[in-house]
Structure 1
């Protein structure tokens, strides 16, 4: 029980005293009494019968608060054990930090700073990804020079997972895109009596641009995320570190088979999307415009060059390289928690799709400039 303090509440200076137990059980009462001792220049502890760490913390906090106000309170009447406890608790308390006043910033300046930071982080990430790409190419060259180092079993497995399993969704996507192109093109070309040219619209659009681009986007969403999740999970379980300890190369074991699998099969998936798109477009042209399959095939062979198909499929290996490298790189960057795994998986899909679209635009500009 605490006795009344010697100093009156309204007195600014003078001695004050605490008596009785200053422990955890009376901590609330101690803090209340100490709050009334502000301004005292001396604190007498001769009447304190029990003092524990909680009570010493309350007294030390009171002394620190008074010191912050520019006043020094002297402790008197404390036993050697109480003085030692007070000194120990005072030394263990964190130093008081003065809050720095933040200068007001203009909102536009803040937004510009955030934009600059985002661009810097993106540029740094792209630089690291390019370095990772160089490492993958180096391992690929070594595998070409020493074919026995290539894991054929892993390559076939990833060809099946990332390539053959994607055929149904790619074929369905191509078929529906062909139907949409035929339907929309027919509604416009009928106004000019040029319904027959819907064949050219479908064939050139699918073979040159849409077929391989949409296939790459689907594969980026499907395979890039799968690569990141698989490699990221292995990194979380420290399996990649275990590989390095055993003298095995994670790039050669985990990354290279996935890259080669996509490079080999993305052109095949692009071809499947092209054929499905032409079939869907021809079916819709037959139903909506009355263009028979024979007439559709004749118009396709006469006015559509095989060059368009070759141009479209020529982009596939580069798209596959981008998707696989981004997905594997993001997996290698996963930290040891599930939040990082989810964040990196989402980022791999976004970055892969963004780069595929950018590279496709560059291809289109290049072919337009050279008249191909």
Structure 2
């Protein structure tokens, strides 16, 4: 009795193994093509599964569109997975690119649904084509970038003109100004930046005093460190470094906030409601910079002088009273005015570039990050370039 049960179990196991083997065994896929006067007939047979696609990939790739109508007969396809569906969908797309009519016949409903799903997403799965190489193509890319830079220059000049127009109109009609937005931006740009600007100015004064003392000691001219500190900070370093900090801190914030609104289509909603995005978003930010950057520059100048006086006292023995006396005797208000005159120009450039970059955001949050980086880089570059132009201008005037 026990032997009979064992034999029955063995027979059942053999039967299950045979069924599994017959179910998992794959028929090698094939593809044939026949042409006549009416068109082309392509017959696909076998198992179009990922494991066996290497047998027919080259045959699929060899089929090229020739303008004739195509019928793809898939009545003999036994099984199909996503890899096979992609191969069929890609074939249909390529053959239909010449304008020919491509028709699938003999499809199982489940296979038809899978091919349709893959066809809708095939463009997302196709990788980007590598750019052509060679000297001619390299020159062409340089030309495209140059033309793009020229277009960007025209665009930002136009944006500057639009901003100045809205700014003048706001000054003429002050009731159009959004005071709550202006005060909020002044707090963000100015009040919250005071600690970092003050610390930066103090440390710059310390560094100038220390480095200047080291060099001037060699000639016994330590006392001239006062003029070195005051002229360097008041004319150049105070306002220049303040503008760089504001460009990195506030300019990036402007681009990120307005750029996020652009991605979420809030700016389009403003235009739909009849609101001017320049007047609502740009003018309060630019005005806040125009008001607060000179104040921040003055704070940086004072902090730099305090840091320089402290280091001069510690390292050279120049007392605070002597420091103030030489400062009054040899450094006039003109030195401070030279630095402060630059502040409104720096503020306008930072605000316009930051807001223009925000308006160029397209598509996704990745574009916001790219435009924010470009905003900071371009703002800092323009601040340094304008400072150099002012230096040449004042040098020619003998100031």
TM-score in terms of structure 2 length: 0.70
**d(CA) in 1 for partners of 2:322, 2:226:** 9
Task: Please say if residues 2 and 20 of structure 1, whose CA atoms lie closer than 8 Å, have aligned partners that are also in contact.
Answer: no
Task: Please say if residues 2 and 29 of structure 1, whose CA atoms lie closer than 8 Å, have aligned partners that are also in contact.
Answer: no
Q: Work out whether 1:137 is the aligned partner of 2:164.
A: yes
Instruction: Tell which deviates more after alignment, 327-336 or 177-186.
Output: 327-336
Q: Work out whether 1:316 is the aligned partner of 2:373.
A: no
**d(CA) in 2 for partners of 1:103, 1:223:** 40
Task: Please say if residues 44 and 77 of structure 2, whose CA atoms lie closer than 8 Å, have aligned partners that are also in contact.
Answer: no
In the alignment, structure 1 segments of 5+ residues that lack a partner are 6-17, 39-47, 66-80, 84-88, 95-101
Q: Work out whether 1:217 is the aligned partner of 2:280.
A: no
What's 2:152 paired with?
125
**d(CA) in 2 for partners of 1:254, 1:350:** 22
What's 1:8 paired with?
none
**d(CA) in 2 for partners of 1:126, 1:142:** 24
Task: Describe the shift of the 1:169–1:111 C-alpha distance in structure 2 as closer, same or farther (beyond 3 A).
Answer: farther
Structure 1 residue 305 displacement after superposition: 1.2
What's 1:172 paired with?
199
What's 1:264 paired with?
291
Structure 1 residue 165 displacement after superposition: 0.7
What's 2:7 paired with?
none
What's 1:336 paired with?
363
What's 1:250 paired with?
277
For residues 171-224 of structure 1, give each alpha carbon's deviation from its aligned partner in whole angstroms, at most 9, with x where no partner exists. Answer: 100000000000010011111111110000000000000000000000000000
Q: SS at the partner of 2:361?
A: coil
Structure 1 residue 50 displacement after superposition: 3.5
What's 1:292 paired with?
319
**d(CA) in 1 for partners of 2:288, 2:167:** 13
Task: Please say if residues 46 and 79 of structure 2, whose CA atoms lie closer than 8 Å, have aligned partners that are also in contact.
Answer: no
Structure 1 residue 24 displacement after superposition: 4.0
Q: SS at the partner of 2:302?
A: helix
Structure 1 residue 28 displacement after superposition: 3.7
Q: SS at the partner of 1:315?
A: helix
Q: Work out whether 1:371 is the aligned partner of 2:382.
A: no
**d(CA) in 2 for partners of 1:370, 1:203:** 21
Q: Work out whether 1:229 is the aligned partner of 2:247.
A: no
Length, aligned pairs only:
316
What's 1:105 paired with?
134
Task: Please say if residues 49 and 79 of structure 2, whose CA atoms lie closer than 8 Å, have aligned partners that are also in contact.
Answer: no
**d(CA) in 1 for partners of 2:172, 2:159:** 20
Task: Describe the shift of the 1:148–1:193 C-alpha distance in structure 2 as closer, same or farther (beyond 3 A).
Answer: same
In the alignment, structure 2 segments of 5+ residues that lack a partner are 1-25, 31-41, 63-73, 96-104, 108-114, 123-130
Task: Please say if residues 174 and 273 of structure 1, whose CA atoms lie closer than 8 Å, have aligned partners that are also in contact.
Answer: yes
**d(CA) in 1 for partners of 2:212, 2:143:** 43
Task: Describe the shift of the 1:19–1:195 C-alpha distance in structure 2 as closer, same or farther (beyond 3 A).
Answer: closer
For residues 50-82 of structure 1, give each alpha carbon's deviation from its aligned partner in whole angstroms, at most 9, with x where no partner exists. Answer: 457969987x97xx99xxxxxxxxxxxxxxx66
For residues 19-51 of structure 1, give each alpha carbon's deviation from its aligned partner in whole angstroms, at most 9, with x where no partner exists. Answer: 99645479949956x97xx9xxxxxxxxx9845
For residues 315-349 of structure 1, give each alpha carbon's deviation from its aligned partner in whole angstroms, at most 9, with x where no partner exists. Answer: 00010000111111111111131100100011100
Structure 1 residue 129 displacement after superposition: 1.1
Task: Please say if residues 255 and 358 of structure 2, whose CA atoms lie closer than 8 Å, have aligned partners that are also in contact.
Answer: yes
Task: Please say if residues 22 and 30 of structure 1, whose CA atoms lie closer than 8 Å, have aligned partners that are also in contact.
Answer: no
**d(CA) in 1 for partners of 2:176, 2:133:** 60
What's 1:9 paired with?
none
Task: Please say if residues 75 and 106 of structure 2, whose CA atoms lie closer than 8 Å, have aligned partners that are also in contact.
Answer: no
Q: Work out whether 1:158 is the aligned partner of 2:185.
A: yes
CA-based RMSD of the aligned residues comes to 3.8
